[in-house]
Amino acid sequence: MKGIVFTEYLAFAENLVGEDVVEDVIEACKLPSGGAYTTVGTYDHAEIVILTKAFSEHTGIDDQDLVRMFGVYLGEVFQRKFSQFFAEADTLFDFLASVHTHIHVEVQKLYPDAELPSIEMIERSERTALLRYRSPRNMDALALGLIQAAASGFGDTIETERDSGADVDGTYVDFRLTRSG
């Protein structure tokens, strides 16, 4: 995955547990990269899984919930750094539909080696939507956090139900979203 995700992950972890703990955890995890991430680099997403396990042990927060919390943080970073994508969408559901059809397509052009998930909007009505996530990296907790950050960005309150399934294209995770305000 692209370095920006890792540099932001460490910034998120520093906010959570402080710089000293982050340094100790990086050292103890003996990561292939040594944790010396740069925004232009590309790293194995498994390093985030390893670091998250260590931070989960340190904080007592469930590891999937930590990844979701990181998704919220990253979503806020994206709202600042890539504000044009948010400005182009009138509503939350327009924005979420555009991740697959437009945003990740542009990201792929910008970073040809980016490893992006598929996030298709399968159904949509005024108040409900069904987003289907597929990725060999299984970072659906990150997707949930990014969805929650986007909802706050649009001033929407949403409820999310998560389901998993499989079809001829492989496994997927469905997010059923209901806007309540």
Under the rule (CB under 6 A), what is the footprint of ligand HEM? 1-2, 4-5, 78, 82, 85, 96, 99, 103-104, 107, 114-117, 119, 135, 137, 139, 142-143, 146-147, 150
Tell the smallest beta-carbon distance from residue 134 to ligand HEM (Å).
9
Q: For ligand HEM, which is the closer residue by CB, 105 or 127?
A: 105
Q: Which is nearer to ligand HEM, 27 or 163 (CB)?
A: 163
Contact 179, 156 (CB under 8 A): yes
DSSP 8-state class, residue 117: P
Least distance from ligand HEM to the Cβ atom of residue 172, Å: 12
In angstroms, what CA-CA distances link 178 with 21, 52, 64? 38, 29, 22
Smallest separation (angstroms) from ligand HEM to the CB of 150: 5
Distance of closest approach, residue 68 Cβ to ligand HEM, in angstroms: 11
Q: In sequence order, which residues have a C-beta less than 8 Å from that of residue 112 and are 6 or more positions away?
A: none
Q: Of 45 and 58, which CB lies nearer to ligand HEM in the complex structure?
A: 45
In angstroms, the CA 175 to CA 163 distance is 7
State the burial class of residue 71 (Cβ atoms within 10 Å of its Cβ: 0-12, 13-18, 19+): buried
